[in-house]
Amino acid sequence: MNRLIMFDMDGTLLRTDAEDSLYVSAMEEWLSVESIDTNWAIYKHVTDVGVAVELFERRQGHKPSEKELNIVSEIFFEKWKNKLEVDPTACSPMAGVTLFLKKLQALNNTSIAIATGAWGKTARLKLDHCHVQLSDTVIATCDDAYSREEIMEIAYERACQKDEISGFEKTVYFGDGEWDVEAALHLGFDFIGIDSSNRKEALIKSGARHVFSDFRDYTQLIDLIFNN
């Protein structure tokens, strides 16, 4: 059986506690506003670009241009770059993730993908900073699509192309938000939650059957992937 294990990044593969504050700071600078609602569940597309577009439309009455989106993407990237220079601990691998990934990479008929709502340049900055080694792993970001579901579909298609197959018999998505659960279940993927931000109740309410605090119990996680 060919299996695809797909990961969200922020709050799942990586602990990025500064993410919300840096994103809000970037939006406030870009839009010249003083407050941004950080209840991400209210936004149509909970991705860096999706939220940015919605905020811009509310303020300006029309969608931002590609140039305008590139500006805010660069502002956000620079804020993360500066943050990591002064505080390297602002972004770190989720507990147990390094060993878990090594275990997955050693398995036959098992592929790995990343489908993140982050902008690609910032995503790669954080992955490199954390020394997350994912050679030969496909990645899809919000540079590819606004919606999380579309990003996941693109990651799936790229993994199929890489493995030269028409599809996977089983796909498991790891995420930390209720929007992750909803997208995964709608696509017919299995879902395993990572409760990095006290969202366990929300994840379960959204349909998650299994929620872990991190990846340290890799034996149970692998058992779920193969036998659930």
Residue 134 has pLDDT above 80, yes or no: no
Query: Residues 120-136: what's their mean pLDDT?
Result: 90
Residue 26 has pLDDT above 80, yes or no: yes
Over the stretch 68-86, which tens digit does the pLDDT of each residue have?
999 999 999 999 999 999 9
Residue 1 has pLDDT above 80, yes or no: no
Residue 24 has pLDDT above 80, yes or no: yes
Task: Tell me what pLDDT residue 41 has.
Answer: 86
Residue 135 has pLDDT above 80, yes or no: no
Collapsing DSSP states into helix, strand and coil, what is residue 113?
strand
> Which tokens belong to 156?
């799936």
Q: Of 4, 9, 43, which is closest to residue 196 (Cα–Cα)? A: 9
Over the stretch 28-56, which tens digit does the pLDDT of each residue have?
999 998 888 888 889 999 999 999 999 99
> Which tokens belong to 200?
């366990």
Residue 99 has pLDDT above 90, yes or no: yes
Query: Residues 109-134: what's their mean pLDDT?
Result: 93
| Amino acid making up residue 219 | T
CATH for 3-16+93-227 (3.30.465.10, 2.40.50.140, 3.40.50.1000, 3.40.50.720): 3.40.50.1000
Q: Which residues, 6 or more positions from 36, have their beta carbon under 8 angstroms from its beta carbon? A: 24, 27, 28, 55
Residue 121 has pLDDT above 80, yes or no: yes
Report residue 119's pLDDT band, with 50, 70 and 90 as the boundaries. very high
Over the stretch 188-209, which tens digit does the pLDDT of each residue have?
999 999 998 788 999 999 999 9
- Say if residue 80 is exposed, middle or buried (CB neighbours under 10 Å; 0-12, 13-18, 19+): buried
DSSP 192: E
What is the domain partition of the chain in residue ranges? Answer: 3-16+93-227, 19-88
Query: Residues 171-183: what's their mean pLDDT?
Result: 95
Helices (H), the chain: 19-31, 48-60, 66-86, 97-105, 120-129, 148-163, 178-187, 200-206, 218-227
Residue 228 has pLDDT above 80, yes or no: no
Report residue 133's pLDDT band, with 50, 70 and 90 as the boundaries. confident
Distance CA 158, CA 80 (A): 27
